Chain A
Amino acid sequence: MEKRLIKKDALSGIINKLSEQMLVYAPVKDEDNVLFKVLEKGMEPLADYSNTRNAPKNFFFPKTETMMRYMRTERGIELSGEGEGAPEMVLFGVRPCDARSFILLDKVFDQEKYKDPYYIDKREKTTIISLACVHPPYSTCFCTSVGGHPMSSEGADVVLTDLGDKYLAEFVTPKGEKLLEKMGDLSKADDAAEATKEELSKKSEEAITSHVAGREIKPWLDENFEHPFWDTIHQSCLACGTCTYLCPTCHCFDISDEVKGSDGKRIRTWDSCMYWLFTKETSGHNPRTSQKQRWRQRLMHKFKYFVDNFDAIACVGCGRCVMYCPVNIDIRKIVNDISKL
C-alpha cells in the first residue's frame, strides 16, 4: 500500500486537478444541505464537514435507472440499451460508514448467484476517496456497534486522514494506486504520521457515544416474528420514505414500464418498505398490509435476514434515519429496547 502526505492547503487543488481529467463528485454546500455534486471549475470541495444529507448509494444504484428502451414500429418492437455505460469517476469525501455501505451493497448486486450489470459497471469505474472521521461527526453515529469503525478503510480506494496540518493519504487498492499517478508528486508518509493516525483512531473510537446492541438482538429476532413488541414501534410512523431513501444500505427497488405513445422505457426506481405499495402483488393481495408488518420488515431485513444471507448487518450506523425521521422513530432505541426483552 502506498502512503503519502498531502499538505492541507494543497488538497483542494489536487482534487480540482482531478476534476479536470475526470468526473469528480464531492460534498458541496447547497443552501442548508451538504450534498454530493459534480465538482465544476471554481467549486470548492468540502473537506471539513460532518456528513452529506443523502447517502452516496445513488452513484451506483440511482434513484431512477433506465434499464432499457423499446419502440413499437411497424416491424415489431425494437429494443435498445441505455448509452455506452458509466464514465470513469471519482467520489471524493465519502465518510467511512458510507464507504462501508458499498461493501454491503456489493453483497446484493455483485454476488455469485446474481450479478447486476448496471450496478457493477458504475462501481468498477468509480474510485472512492474517503475521509476518515477523526472526530465522530454526530452524537447519533453508531458505526462501531454494527461492524464499522470511524477510521475504517473498508470500501474505500483511498483514505485521507486529517493529521492537523496535513492529510495522510493511504492508497488502499490498486484502483487507488492508479489514482495516485494522476495526483502528481506527493511526499512519502513517515512512520510518525502512521503513529499519529493510530492514536487518532483510538480516540475517535472512544468518542463514539451511541451504542446499539446490533449483533446481540439476532437470536431474539430469529424467535420472535410474532411478539407484542412489534405493536409498539409503528404508531407514529408517517409511512414516508425518508429513512429508507437517506439510508446508505437500503436497496429495495421496483421495476416499472413507462410508455409515452409508441416509445417506452423500463425503469428501476427505489422502493421503500415503509410504503403500502411495497409488497402489493398484481393479484391485489398484499402480504404486508399494516405499518406494523412493514416496520418489522425493516428491522428484520437489517438485523436478521441480511445477517442470515450475507453474515453482516445491513446498517452502517450513519444515523441519518435517526436524525431525519420526521417523527423521531429512533432505530437505536428500538434495537436497544429489543435487547432488553
Chain B
Amino acid sequence: MENVEKQLREEAKRLLADKKVDVIVGYEEGTLPLQTVPCFITNPDDAGKLVWNSFCSQNLAKYVHDIIHQHRESQVRVKPEDKTRKVVGVVARGCTTRSLVIHLQERQYDRDEVVIIGVPCTGFVAKRKVSTLVDGKEILEAAVNGDKISVRTTSGDKDVPLKDVIADNCLNCHFNNPVISDIMVGNEAPPRDVDREYDSVNKFENLPLEERWSYFTKEMEKCIRCYACRNTCPSCYCKICFVEQSQPAWVGTGDDPTDVQVFQIMRMFHMAGRCVDCGSCVEVCPMGVDLRNFLKKLDKDGFELFAHKAGESIDKPAPLSTFEMGDKEKFIFEPESSS
C-alpha cells in the first residue's frame, strides 16, 4: 500500500504540474486515529500530503460533483468567451469509479472534466466495528500491520484481525478494482468473497413481515435527521432534496417517527439502481443506523430483475432510465397478480 501511496503522490504532482487538472481530490491524514480526511490539492508541492490506506472510508465522487457544479454556477454570469472549465482529478477506488460512472451516465458532467486516478482497494476499516471490539473504549492510536490492526486504547493495547473490522460492504465487494480510470496506480487487488454478497439480505428477506418492519422502525428511531447519509452520498445530488421543499412540504420537519421513516424510505428508493454500496452513508452516520440492509435489498432486486449493478460499466444503461421492449410490465397492468 505504501507503494500505491508513493505512485499516487507522483501522479497527482505530475497532473497538477502539467496543468491537466485544477484540483486533486484525495485523502490526507486526520487528527484522530482510524480517520483520514478528504483533501483538495491545487499546488503540486502539496501532493505529498496524499495518503492511501485502510482508513480512507469516504466515496470522493460526491466532491467531484460538488466542485464541478459549484464552478459551473460561478460561471453563469461570465461572458461565453471568458467561461472556464474546472477539471477535477480524483483518487478513486472501485466504488468511487462506479459513482463517477453514474454521474456520467446521468449527464452530470463530461468525461473530460474528470481525471480518474484508479486505486486498488482491499476494503476500509469500519470505525464502529473497531470500537465494538475494544468494548467502546476510546481508541488513542491505530495502525495496520499486515493482516492485523494494532489498537491502543485507554485500557491497553490490542491486536485485532483486519478482516474482522473491514466494513460489511467491502467484504463481499465485486468491484474493489476501478471500473474506469485514466491512470491506474498499484497492482490489481485480489477478489473478495463475492459469493456471499447477498447472504445478509437473503436472511433478512426470509424473516416474517412483522420482524422486518420492527427492525426497520427500530433502526429509524435512532435517526436524528442530520442528513449526513444523504450529504455524503454521491448519488444524492438533487439541488433541493424533497425533505427541504416547502411548497408543497412532502414530509414534516420534526422528529415524528413517520416523517423520519418517510425521509429514509424516499431516499432509499431514489437509490434504486443507483446505489454502489460504497458504505459511506453507514460510515458517516453518527447514530449507527443500519441503512445498508435496506439499500442492499434494492441492489439485489436490480440485479435479479435487470442483471444490473449500478455504475458497473459506462456502456450499460441504468435500468430505471431505460425502456426495452422485453421489460416486464405486469406490475403496472396487473399489480395484484405480480406481488
Which residues from chain A sit less than 8 Å from chain B, CB to CB? Answer: 31-34, 50, 53-54, 63-64, 137-140, 235-236, 238-242, 245-246, 254, 256, 258, 267, 269, 272, 275-277, 322-324, 326-330, 332-333
Contacts and interface: CB of A to CB of B under 8 A. Distances in A.
8 contacts: A240-B284, A245-B224, A246-B286, A269-B253, A275-B227, A277-B244, A326-B228, A327-B38
A240 B226 contact: yes
A322 B32 contact: yes
B232 A32 contact: no
Contacts of B39: 236
Contacts of B224: 54, 63, 241, 245
Nearest to A277: B244
A254 B188 CA distance: 51
B301 to A, nearest CB: 28
B30 A242 contact: no
A139 B33 CA distance: 11
B228 A240 contact: yes
B37 A32 contact: no
Given A258-B254, A333-B31, A242 B138 contact: no
A235 B66 CA distance: 10
A332 B31 CA distance: 10
Interface string B262-284: 00000000000000000000011
A261 B287 CA distance: 34
B32 A241 contact: no
Interface of A is mostly: loop
Interface in B202-254: 222, 224-228, 230-232, 244, 249, 252-254
Given A32-B132, A322-B32, A326-B284, A238 B228 contact: yes
Contacts of B31: 322, 328, 330, 332-333
Nearest to B129: A32
A31 B222 CA distance: 10
Contacts of A332: 31
A333 B31 CA distance: 8
B48 to A, nearest CB: 18
A53 B287 contact: yes
A332 to B, nearest CB: 7
Contacts of B38: 235-236, 327
A255 to B, nearest CB: 10
Q: How large is the interface on B (under 10, 10 to 19, 20 to 34, 35 or more residues)?
A: 35 or more
Residue of B58, B225, B283 with most partner-chain A CB within 10 A: B225
Contact of B128 (A32, A137, A254): A32
Contacts of A239: 227, 231
Nearest to B246: A256
B32 A330 contact: yes
B172 interface: no
A328 B37 contact: yes
Contacts of B230: 240
A175 B270 CA distance: 52
Interface string B12-32: 000000000000000000111
A235 B255 contact: no
A323 B222 CA distance: 18
Contacts of B244: 276-277
- Most B CB atoms within 10 A — which of A32, A50, A326? A326
A231 B132 CA distance: 37
Given A267-B253, A333-B31, 13 more contacts: A32-B128, A33-B288, A63-B254, A64-B253, A139-B138, A236-B37, A241-B225, A242-B284, A245-B226, A256-B253, A272-B226, A326-B283, A330-B32
A333 B35 CA distance: 15
B58 A242 contact: no
A114 B231 CA distance: 35
A336 B199 CA distance: 48
A43 to B, nearest CB: 17
B40 interface: yes
A236 B232 CA distance: 10
Contact of B35 (A50, A64, A269, A328): A328
Interface in B283-309: 283-284, 286-288
B220 to A, nearest CB: 14
